[in-house]
Every structure is written in C-alpha cells, then in structure tokens.
Amino acid sequence: MKQLTEQKECDRCKKATNIFTMSWFNEDFICMTCNDEEEKHPDFEFAKNVEVAYTRRGNMNYPGVGYPGKDGRISEELKQALIEELGL
C-alpha cells in the first residue's frame, strides 16, 4: 500500500492536491472534490456500514467493497453476501 506522504495526486481524478481522505469504497486516497462526489453515490452508506462492521470485528485492513464508478452500483449478490456475513 502506498504511503499518504508520497501522494501528490488524487487516485480517482488524478488532479494534483495535497489534501486527501480515504475512500469508503476502496483503498484510494481521494481529494475533497471526489469525496464530495463519493458521498452522493447511492451505495455510499452501504460501503460505509460494511467498513464499520469489519472494523468492529477487528479487521482494520478491509480493502472495501470496491468503487463501482460514479454511475455504477455494487452488485446485489455482493450486497446480499455482505449483509449475511456481517448481519447488516
């Protein structure tokens, strides 16, 4: 995994920046503009709930559900499997 201190551009939009946050969907370091867009994604709350559930189980290295793209969606099969596994 890359170090945040080495980061000079957003993993998602590739624009230069020195302010980042971690995506709730995956391990991308994203700029605040991309973070704002991510928070509008219809699967955002689900991705966040999955991350929190894994963290509560002690898994601090869960890679995320995967970013489906701005207009994509997390598959229903993956959602159902995670709901059953994590009791969401």
Q: Where are the beta strands (DSSP E) in 10-76?
A: 21-22, 29-30
Determine the Cα angle at 43 with ends 78 and 66, to 5°. Answer: 55
The domain locations on the chain are: 4-86
CA–CA distance, 10 with 23 (Å, rounded to integer) = 11
Q: 23 and 48 in contact (C-beta within 8 Å)?
A: no
- pTM, full prediction: 0.86
By C-alpha distance, which of 45, 58, 59 is closest to 88?
45
CB-based contacts of 40, cutoff 8 Å, min separation 6: none
Q: Mean pLDDT, to the nearest integer, of 19-38?
A: 96
Residues 32-69: tens digit of each pLDDT: 999 999 999 999 999 999 999 999 999 999 999 999 99
Which residue is listed with tokens 């391990």?
27
